[in-house]
Amino acid sequence: MKVLLKKYAAKAGIDKAIFYTSLGRIIGTFGGLISVLLVARYLTKIEQGFYYTFGSILAIQIFLELGLGGIITQYVAHENAHLSWNKDQQVSGESKHISRLAYLLKFCFKWYSILGVLLVGVLIMVGLIYFNKFYKAEETVNWSIPWLLLCLGTTLNFLVAPISAFISGLDRVKEIAQYRLWAQLITMAIIWSGLFFGAKLYVGGISSIVGALLFYCYILFSYNRKTIITLWRVNVYDRVNYVKEIFPFQWKIALSWISGYFIFQLFNPVLFATEGAVVAGQMGMTLAALNGIQALSLSWITTKVPLYSGLIAKKEYKKLDSIFNKTLEQLTAINGISLIFMFLVIFVIRHFHIVFGKLDIGSRFLDYLPMILMMIPLFINQFVNAWATYLRCHKQEPFLLISIVTGVLCCLSTILLGKYTGVIGVTAGYCLITVCMMPWGYYIFGTKKREWHGE
């Protein structure tokens, strides 16, 4: 039986890194479903609107991080491809690569410490101004203190990001995935118990803070602590030049990520301001389910970033393309099946008027038409995200222009159509823009791959 399972796992492209990452995403998806039910059960429709809009506001951290986390993983992987580690976490290899790796670690700590101080202040200020201005006081909601706690927890997790990205770049994706799986189970338990016992909007901040503290404990008591200490003690003589090496790549990634904010995170704030907290809550719950599906399917390729980067550093392009093409087929199948399953479940719940207790869970999601208009772009984006990940592993960002154009169009579409046509206009505009941009994305992928590989 065990041999048979391994055979099917290999055929599906499931290695240990993907297994733990995907298991975490699967648990996250089903756990998210339970969270959705509990949010709908223990929060009012207006509180639900706050709950999901909180997340969209918190995403403005993109404007400070500027895509540095993903870049760290790739740069670390490129240096680590020339090094080896023994069981005592002592590194061997050319001193040049050891020095550059140590510099990347110290750079991460310094840079993110400065950004963390800025982040907590910006989040608190933006949230207080936004919710005080746009909430119409339809009912009394205690949101200010939960928001402050959530800002603190988000900042602590922001400081975790570079360490996690660095360790992943050392080709330890499996270890990080294992940790995240356990941390996810604990934080979900906190959210569920918090909602059950009446903590309401406080659950987000509390679970976020606990999640960050768990990661610090993980680093402290795992062998990765020795890795960090080893590199921290290295006398750096050869550095990664930020201005010449990282920044030319980062500013392009940063603009792409900022464009992504206007594409994916603007729906809830705009609908909260134009149609109220209830509609924003429906959009938030629908997006929560769709994002779970996207995270699950993309785990097939995100776990491959260190591998892709290493193969590129060694110029093993045929092996790279073989692995990538197979991975793309697998993640596309997972995504498509999951979207169909989600739609059927919601259809059955609504058609047969299934309620959980006295809760009509079907009414907490978007109606069928806007829901489908959100599903189509999510399926298309699996291809675009895969192509972009492949190309970015070359330490290049050729998707910059298309990201900016898409971001501007989606921003204008969401704001204008949201104001005059509501949720139908918002989702239809997003769907149309995504469909029109896909051929451009494929053209960039094919052109740059041939150019960089000398095909």
pLDDT in tens, 59-84: 888 777 777 877 888 888 888 888 88
Stated pTM of the model: 0.69
- Whether the predicted pLDDT of 234 surpasses 60: yes
> Over the range 303-317, which residues count as b (16 or more CB within 10 Å of their CB) and which as e?
bbbbbbbbbbbeeee
CA distance 221 to 215: 10
pLDDT tens profile 406-434? 988 988 999 998 888 889 999 999 999 99
- Whether the predicted pLDDT of 177 surpasses 50: yes
- Whether the predicted pLDDT of 5 surpasses 60: no
Q: Are 338 and 297 in contact (CB under 8 A)?
A: yes
Of 205-209, 295-299, 321-325, give the lowest mean pLDDT range.
Answer: 295-299
Q: Output the pLDDT for position 347.
A: 93
Alpha-carbon distances, residue 136 vs 58, 276, 425 (angstroms): 21, 8, 23
Q: What is the 3-state secondary structure (H, E, C) of the chain?
A: CHHHHHHHHHHCCCCHHHHHHHHHHHHHHHHHHHHHHHHHHHCCHHHHHHHHHHHHHHHHHHHHHCCHHHHHHHHHHHHHCCEEECCCCCEEECHHHHHHHHHHHHHHHHHHHHHHHHHHHHHHHHHHHHHHHHCCCCCCCCCHHHHHHHHHHHHHHHHHHHHHHHHHHCCCHHHHHHHHHHHHHHHHHHHHHHHHCCCCCHHHHHHHHHHHHHHHHHHHHCCHHHHHHHHHCCCCCCCCCHHHHHHHHHHHHHHHHHHHHHHHCCHHHHHHHHCCHHHHHHHHHHHHHHHHHHHHHHHHHHCCHHHHHHHHHCCCHHHHHHHHHHHHHHHHHHHHHHHHHHHHHHHHHHHCCCCECCECHHHHCCCHHHHHHHHHHHHHHHHHHHHHHHHHCCCCCCCHHHHHHHHHHHHHHHHHHHHHCHHHHHHHHHHHHHHHHHHHHHHHHHHHHHHHHCC
Domain boundaries, the chain: 2-453
pLDDT tens profile 365-394? 899 999 999 999 999 999 999 999 999 888
Of 274-278, 315-319, 441-445, give the lowest mean pLDDT range.
Answer: 274-278
Q: Output the pLDDT for position 39.
A: 84
